Structure 1
Amino acid sequence: MSNDIHYDLVVVGAGNAALCAAISAREAGAKVLVLERGPEHKRGGNSYFTDGAIRFAYNELSDIRKLMPDLTDEEADKIVMPEYSTQDYYGDIMRVTSDKSTPELASHLVNQSYQTISWMREQGVEFELNYSNQSFEKEGRYHFWGGLPVKTKNIGMGLMSTLFSRAVELGINIWYDSRAVELRTTNGQISSVIVEQHSDKTNIETSSVVLACGSFEANKQMRSEHIGEEWEAAIVRGTEYNTGDGLTMALNIGAQKYGEWSGCHSIGTDYNAPKTGDFTKPGDIFKKHSYPLSIMLNKAGERFVDEGADFRNYTYAKYGREILKQPDHIAYQIYDQQVRPMLRKEYNLEEATYYQADTLEELVAKLDVNREQFLTTIADYNNAIEDGYYNPTVKDGKATTGVTPAKTNWALPIEQGPFYAFPVTCGITFSFGGVHVNTEGEVLNKENEPISGLFAAGEMVGGIFYGNYPGGSGLMSGAVFGKTAGASAARYVENKTTNTTS
């Protein structure tokens, strides 16, 4: 084992959180090495697969225009952009997590979100308005909704390409096919990382480590152990390399296990999606997120969630779990021609699986379901719809009465052919369990004291998301805590050097 390499900081992982940490530390003067477990053509972690939507607090459209200076006055005049304050963002996190999110961590994410997004822009990351998925056109103006109007240009691919380019520009070294397998300490302080490269192992001496290599969502055994046996059947939406390495290494040197280890971010995804993320088909192309405009039925022909409980931003991360509970882990999203033109763009891709027929009877004949109950459920739903004004840009209160579960918004009868059925299953994105960090990104031990030289960011941070999360918050959390951890690691190294030489 070689033992002659030294870095101020070793960043484990090479996704959004990891590269934000590396760039932040390098800007502060640290000598940085990034370890990517996968080969170069599979770099970028889960961030590579995201559709790029990123949630941050802003006061008005002028705040957003600072991030995209090419947005013209003429274009801006056609935009209706509700304010999304830090209070709104914090409130959304607490609401969807049932007030379980650790307040200081949620506050750090929220309060640093705009500053961090501006910093990302300074690094070269480009942003654009998320017209197709977060706005509706009405009388020539685009009405944005849900607090998520911005995405990275060219989705996750664009984000990661820019961050990798910036890292190389700053002189950050990146090793591929390099799996960190052990953290070593001396006198309670991080002193080195053991890295496995094919059959060889290398000891990298370092003063600090940022763990940003994802959670355990791609580890079938850990999913079964911590979330439940049924999760062995879940599709892994992102990289196959997020198998809990960072968590295992941190816990082995005394890190505090933290957050909802039995919970995860999961969604309804195309039933025929790849079993793990396909790097040849990047982007979040298999999700199926127009379900608030649908009714969802299982094989028994029964509805099982309130599809219109809230905007999809606030329900999609928990409804994957509900689909997984259904017989054979499958459900069907049902639409008619009234709403078909309003569906998100992923429904129009060639990869989308769907069935189409001119009548409901013809449609159900194509499905492996209890056909009689399927038609009865749709009929009962149609008869239960109350009068009201249908408006998909707001929670319109157009609901059902007398059926269980109710649909509390956007209830339209399924009555105008042709009719469509999109089969979906559960895809896991990331698990919510992690390690305990403070607002400096320092990893804490079981006595809530920092482990000297150890930091974490991204999915490895436990305690923010429980049961659910506001859409776009994972990408923002990765950037915020990545930037924080990198800056903190650089300060730690500087202070350690100063104390050693003084």
Structure 2
Amino acid sequence: MTGNGDIADHSLVYDVVVVGGGNAALCAAIAARRAGASVIVLEAASKFYRGGNTRHTRNMRCAHDAATATLSGPYTEDEFWDDLLRVTEGQTNEQLARMMIRESKEMLTWIVEQGVRFQPSLGGTLSLGRTNSFFLGGGRAMLNALYLTAERLGVEVHYESEVVALDIDQARFCAAIVRRGDRRIRIRGKALVAAAGGFESNIDKLVEGWGEIARNFLIRGTPNNRGTVLDLLLGAGVDSIGDPTQCHAVAIDARAPKYDGGIITRLDCIVFGIVVNNKAERFYDEGEDVWPKRYAIWGRLVAAQPDQIAYIIFDSKSADLFMPSLYPAVAAASIGELAGQLGLDPDRLSATVAQFNAAVRDGTFNPDILDDCHTEGLTPTKSHWARRIDTGPYYAYPVRPGITFTYLGVRVDHEARMMMKGGGPADNMYAAGEMMAGNVLGRGYAAGIGMTIGSVFGRIAGRGAARHAA
């Protein structure tokens, strides 16, 4: 513990120390407390900003066998698995993924028992009414319900308590060193649940994997997820999993703040128009698949473009088909005028739009299914929802990569126990949420699955930590 100055010992030894304050951490804390353990939650943020990226969520994806009051139909375990396999392109631990999907069926009931309420799905282009459960009041309301339940059960919650060191002796957690203002305090515990998120808000760490282009990325979520706890665990011999460049990355409004812009900066209109780079050139099929299975590829696609900037171009026929961003679209009476406002070459953008329009083959437009409106003789093609951009006024959104969370994390087993380098499990250390998401998400994303990972593995980790402490 050199370099930390004087460290005061907390008077109590807790059964379970939970590091983090979002969905995964709270599910772990509640599960451990309901199993009889004494629990402390260490949240680096203030009370107002508690909850990490969970504050910005809207829904979670769970398997279920029949329609409910808020879900329009069944979503079987096999269909969930097929969706996950498709978006990850096979880069997932099948045993853990299938276990998560199976356990997710119980979460719809369990999480309601913790005070969380659901509502019918929102409108827009997500088309998730059958597969995903939407939180009544959004992520912050969901968090408030979990915190209220945790505190009523006797879980201690300490805010502005950043973990800066971990006392780990040969795969066994002994204590967390917490910074509170100018003080450092040792919090001892019989078991650890690490649920402190990824490292997406640490730009220098992103640069290590992505190179200098990462400095143009925007961070959709909390500025607190700097990867400190993850680095401490990996430095103590915990095995890692995942690629440092793999992450949940979507296209968000380029005018969004550097951090914490949240879900209202995301653009869901890509399927209704075309996307061009700063050379006014298209670079990918905007209508490849339904939006919930493709929206999370667009951050990476934009990251590969010059200056990490792109522009969504559409016309008035599509202006009311999606949930708008926080910022108004750029509008103009002509494509040339629109290009001028975006700083693009007017002739090039006009030619790109004209080429696209000429390639469109009419069909029956339907924003809710894979329709038959497509292009022919155009590279890249647009497979579905292709309509001519020919009805003014014309609109555009500038977009940049918006990073939600990173996939490089700690390897876990089916009990959410951390695995040590060399293959054996840790004695009393568990992980949940974003910092172990790479076990399930080797790449890609399907809407709502981050919350599934957090809640399912959080509950498993909390129960396991409580059993160990007992």
**Bin for the TM-score computed over the shorter chain:** over 0.9
The answer to which of 218-227 and 117-126 deviates more is: 218-227
Which runs of structure 2 are paired with 1:167-246 in the superposition (5 Å)? 167-186=150-169, 188-246=171-229
Q: Map Cα deviations across residues 415-445 of structure 1 (whole Å, 9 max, x no partner).
A: 1111111111111000111110011110001
Q: Map Cα deviations across residues 144-197 of structure 1 (whole Å, 9 max, x no partner).
A: 558544211111111111111111111111111111122223464211111111
Q: Residue in 1 aligned with 2:275? A: 296
Q: Residue in 1 aligned with 2:3? A: none
- Alpha-carbon separation, structure 2, partners of 1:262 and 1:397: 35
Please say if residues 353 and 423 of structure 1, whose CA atoms lie closer than 8 Å, have aligned partners that are also in contact.
Answer: no
Which amino acid in structure 1 is aligned with residue 31 of structure 2?
S
Q: Residue in 1 aligned with 2:13? A: 6
- Alpha-carbon separation, structure 2, partners of 1:233 and 1:320: 12
Matched, 1:28 2:15: no
Q: Aligned to 1:285, which of 264, 277, 289?
A: 264
Q: Aligned to 1:85, which of 73, 76, 81?
A: 76
Q: Map Cα deviations across residues 440-471 of structure 1 (whole Å, 9 max, x no partner).
A: 11000122211111000000112211331111
Provide closer, same or farther for how the CA distance between residues 248 and 378 of structure 1 changes in structure 2, counting only shifts above 3 A.
same
SS of residue paired to 1:207: strand
- Alpha-carbon separation, structure 1, partners of 2:8 and 2:339: 64
Please say if residues 40 and 155 of structure 2, whose CA atoms lie closer than 8 Å, have aligned partners that are also in contact.
Answer: yes
4+ residue stretches of structure 1 with deviation over 4 A?
A: 144-147
Provide closer, same or farther for how the CA distance between residues 293 and 187 of structure 1 changes in structure 2, counting only shifts above 3 A.
closer
Matched, 1:118 2:109: yes
- Alpha-carbon separation, structure 2, partners of 1:103 and 1:147: 24
Q: Map Cα deviations across residues 360-416 of structure 1 (whole Å, 9 max, x no partner).
A: 233223220121111101000010012322111111132111111110111011011
Q: Residue in 2 aligned with 1:104? A: 95
Q: Could you tell me how far 1:476 is from its partner in structure 2?
A: 1.2
Q: Residue in 2 aligned with 1:140? A: none
Which amino acid in structure 2 is aligned with residue 341 of structure 1?
D
Q: Residue in 1 aligned with 2:461? A: 485
Matched, 1:38 2:45: yes
Matched, 1:464 2:443: no
Q: Residue in 2 aligned with 1:316? A: 295
Q: Residue in 1 aligned with 2:334? A: 359
- Alpha-carbon separation, structure 2, partners of 1:186 and 1:261: 27
Q: Residue in 2 aligned with 1:332? A: 311
Q: Residue in 1 aligned with 2:4? A: none
Please say if residues 315 and 389 of structure 2, whose CA atoms lie closer than 8 Å, have aligned partners that are also in contact.
Answer: yes
Provide closer, same or farther for how the CA distance between residues 105 and 14 of structure 1 changes in structure 2, counting only shifts above 3 A.
same
- Alpha-carbon separation, structure 2, partners of 1:328 and 1:297: 13
Q: Residue in 2 aligned with 1:73? A: none
- Alpha-carbon separation, structure 1, partners of 2:108 and 2:422: 33
Equivalent pairs counted in the alignment come to 462
Which amino acid in structure 2 is aligned with residue 361 of structure 1?
G
Provide closer, same or farther for how the CA distance between residues 188 and 473 of structure 1 changes in structure 2, counting only shifts above 3 A.
closer
Q: Could you tell me how far 1:128 is from its partner in structure 2?
A: 0.8
- Alpha-carbon separation, structure 1, partners of 2:329 and 2:249: 21
Provide closer, same or farther for how the CA distance between residues 433 and 339 of structure 1 changes in structure 2, counting only shifts above 3 A.
same
Please say if residues 428 and 465 of structure 2, whose CA atoms lie closer than 8 Å, have aligned partners that are also in contact.
Answer: yes
- TM-score (norm. length: structure 2): 0.95
Please say if residues 336 and 347 of structure 2, whose CA atoms lie closer than 8 Å, have aligned partners that are also in contact.
Answer: no
Please say if residues 55 and 147 of structure 1, whose CA atoms lie closer than 8 Å, have aligned partners that are also in contact.
Answer: no
Please say if residues 302 and 400 of structure 2, whose CA atoms lie closer than 8 Å, have aligned partners that are also in contact.
Answer: yes
SS of residue paired to 1:19: helix
Which amino acid in structure 2 is aligned with residue 198 of structure 1?
G
SS of residue paired to 1:366: helix
Matched, 1:373 2:373: no
Which amino acid in structure 1 is aligned with residue 296 of structure 2?
A
Q: Residue in 2 aligned with 1:411? A: 386
Which amino acid in structure 2 is aligned with residue 387 of structure 1?
D
- Alpha-carbon separation, structure 2, partners of 1:352 and 1:165: 34
- Alpha-carbon separation, structure 2, partners of 1:197 and 1:122: 33
Q: Map Cα deviations across residues 65-89 of structure 1 (whole Å, 9 max, x no partner).
A: 2xx5xxxxxxxxxx9x343211011
Sequence identity percentage: 35
- Alpha-carbon separation, structure 1, partners of 2:98 and 2:92: 10
Please say if residues 260 and 463 of structure 1, whose CA atoms lie closer than 8 Å, have aligned partners that are also in contact.
Answer: no
Provide closer, same or farther for how the CA distance between residues 492 and 414 of structure 1 changes in structure 2, counting only shifts above 3 A.
same
User: What CA RMSD, in Å, does the superposition of the two structures yield over aligned residues?
Assistant: 1.6
Q: Could you tell me how far 1:297 is from its partner in structure 2?
A: 1.1
- Alpha-carbon separation, structure 2, partners of 1:215 and 1:369: 36
- Alpha-carbon separation, structure 2, partners of 1:97 and 1:46: 22
- Alpha-carbon separation, structure 2, partners of 1:471 and 1:324: 20
Gaps in structure 1 of 5+ consecutive residues: 69-78, 136-143, 495-502
Please say if residues 260 and 465 of structure 1, whose CA atoms lie closer than 8 Å, have aligned partners that are also in contact.
Answer: no
Which amino acid in structure 2 is aligned with residue 480 of structure 1?
V
SS of residue paired to 1:323: helix
Q: Residue in 2 aligned with 1:265? A: 248
- Alpha-carbon separation, structure 1, partners of 2:218 and 2:14: 37
Which amino acid in structure 2 is aligned with residue 336 of structure 1?
D
- Alpha-carbon separation, structure 2, partners of 1:418 and 1:489: 58
SS of residue paired to 2:207: helix
- Alpha-carbon separation, structure 1, partners of 2:207 and 2:171: 33
Q: Aligned to 1:307, which of 266, 282, 286?
A: 286
Which amino acid in structure 2 is aligned with residue 286 of structure 1?
T
Please say if residues 148 and 471 of structure 1, whose CA atoms lie closer than 8 Å, have aligned partners that are also in contact.
Answer: no
Gaps in structure 2 of 5+ consecutive residues: 1-6
SS of residue paired to 1:183: strand
Q: Could you tell me how far 1:213 is from its partner in structure 2?
A: 0.4
Q: Could you tell me how far 1:260 is from its partner in structure 2?
A: 2.5
